[in-house]
Structure 1
Amino acid sequence: MINETYMEAMMTLASDYDQMSQELFRLAHKLEDTPGYNPKNEMYSLVRTAEQATVGLRGLAARTEWEKARELYETAGDAMGIRVSEDPNWIKITVPAILPKRNARDNTLYLTRPLRACLLKFQAADPIERFERCVICIVHQYDAALGTRRVRDYDNIETKRFLDVIESVFLTNDSGLLCSVLQTTKMGDRDATDFYLMLPESLLKWVEKYL
């Protein structure tokens, strides 16, 4: 399995991580010299590079033992804090805070593949019937300690690709006639995004509890 092409890919990936490390040190020194500097653009670029590098690293790891690829993504999902739980009235799916909507070059496989693996694992362990009619409530949580200026408009948050993964596992059909999507925001002790899936008749109970 290990060949020259594989080793070249590994060295390229190591170089990517090394460059990210150097850039973080450079930004840290710049902030030390210029306290008012905002590294927004550089950090955004680093996030993109880190996600792409992580996807590449998973690919290299999966090639060492292909039959364990799904287990690899389940492990990644657990490390990222993806959680799935079932309540009598709804299913709750928690993922790390969804980043702002980005362009087509950005690789959402960083989160969507581990998310799908975790959902399939949950469905296999505790099978539930797919929703024919469904309401999905999305709660965007923001760390209150970091202030309210970070709160974004909903049309500037990438949710579609994550909803596509959730719907492919739990819904029979994601037609707008059968599935409604609501969004809300709350301040909390950390950044995260919660998806609640429920039958339409459970929505009032959810609203009473969370709004």
Structure 2
Amino acid sequence: MELLEHQLLEVQRVAGVVQDKLTEAQSAKTLYDRNASSFQYGRLLDCMMEASEHAEWLTDRLRGFVLRNTFNSPLKEDYCLKLVQIHEIRVEYDDCILKAELPMLLPHRKKKYTDYIYKPFFLALQNWCEERQQQGKEIPVYEKATVCFIHEYDKKMPETRIRDHDNIEEKQVVDALGMYFLVSDSGRYLDTYH
């Protein structure tokens, strides 16, 4: 019970940090609106980035907490399915081509935290394979494969969101695909393209 209390207090603390950073970002935005200062715009982005990093940590801790402490199997399965739905991950298979769609930007390869993609994506692939197996449908396994990352950007968003694709973390995605569909992800068996 003491561990549970400690975990809850830590989650609350980080939630407070996220709120503080968002409040600070709002103040920086107000100052930017008044002065159009590049310094204030930079401060706004810094605050949002810090809030986002703490929110990722918070999400990971909350998700881990639920998965570790939910012993009711149907409830846990429902939670895992909701994770996939929240992230709007879709998996399709047609004419020997497996398509997995993640409607989010992949993180920079130097970012420390990428589990927010891996866990829901892994669960989506697991659910998809289980459904295929129950329906008696083929689950493809590729000895040699090519993974193509297709990045789609919203034209309404600033062009600064378009990033160098060679800096994008693809390992988490390839690792998840490898668990279910690849014989190996070594360079002899797998090519990746952006």
TM-score by length of 1: 0.77
Is contact 2:144–2:189 with CA below 8 Å preserved after alignment? yes
Is contact 1:70–1:117 with CA below 8 Å preserved after alignment? no
> Which residue in the other structure is 2:10 paired with?
12
Runs of 4+ in 1 over 6 A off after TM superposition: none
Alignment of 1:72-83 (within 5 A): 72-83=79-90
Q: Which residue identity lines up with residue 100 of structure 1 in the other structure?
A: H
Structure 1 unaligned spans of 5+:
184-211
TM-score by length of 2: 0.83
Is contact 1:131–1:171 with CA below 8 Å preserved after alignment? yes
How far is the alpha carbon of 1:57 from its aligned partner? Answer: 0.4
* Equivalent residue pairs, number: 179
Structure holding more strand per residue? 1
**Which of 124, 128, 135 is the aligned partner of 1:118?**
124
Task: Name the CA distance, whole Å, in 1 between partners of 2:125 and 2:28.
Answer: 42
> Which residue in the other structure is 1:29 paired with?
27
Per-residue CA shift, 1:96-148, capped at 9, x if unaligned?
A: 21122234xx2222221111111011011114131112111110111110132
Is contact 2:24–2:47 with CA below 8 Å preserved after alignment? no
Is contact 2:144–2:190 with CA below 8 Å preserved after alignment? yes
> Which residue in the other structure is 1:199 paired with?
none
Q: Which residue identity lines up with residue 86 of structure 2 in the other structure?
A: A
Is contact 1:142–1:151 with CA below 8 Å preserved after alignment? yes
Structure 2 unaligned spans of 5+:
134-138
User: Which structure would you say has the larger RCO, counting Cα contacts within 8 Å and 6 or more residues apart?
Assistant: 1
Alignment of 1:119-134 (within 5 A): 119-127=125-133, 128-134=139-145
Task: Name the CA distance, whole Å, in 1 between partners of 2:98 and 2:154.
Answer: 23
Is contact 1:131–1:172 with CA below 8 Å preserved after alignment? yes
Quick check: 1:154 aligned with 2:165?
A: yes
Distance 1:16 1:84, change over 3 A: same
Q: Give aligned-pair identity as a percent.
A: 22
Is contact 2:91–2:128 with CA below 8 Å preserved after alignment? yes
Per-residue CA shift, 1:135-177, capped at 9, x if unaligned?
A: 1111011111013232111122111122111122111112222
> Which residue in the other structure is 2:189 paired with?
178
Is contact 1:83–1:93 with CA below 8 Å preserved after alignment? yes
Is contact 1:10–1:60 with CA below 8 Å preserved after alignment? no
> Which residue in the other structure is 2:46 paired with?
41
How far is the alpha carbon of 1:12 from its aligned partner? Answer: 1.7
Per-residue CA shift, 1:1-28, capped at 9, x if unaligned?
A: xx12202211220221122112102211
Is contact 2:96–2:140 with CA below 8 Å preserved after alignment? no
Structure holding more helix per residue? 2
Task: Name the CA distance, whole Å, in 1 between partners of 2:24 and 2:54.
Answer: 16
Distance 1:114 1:86, change over 3 A: same
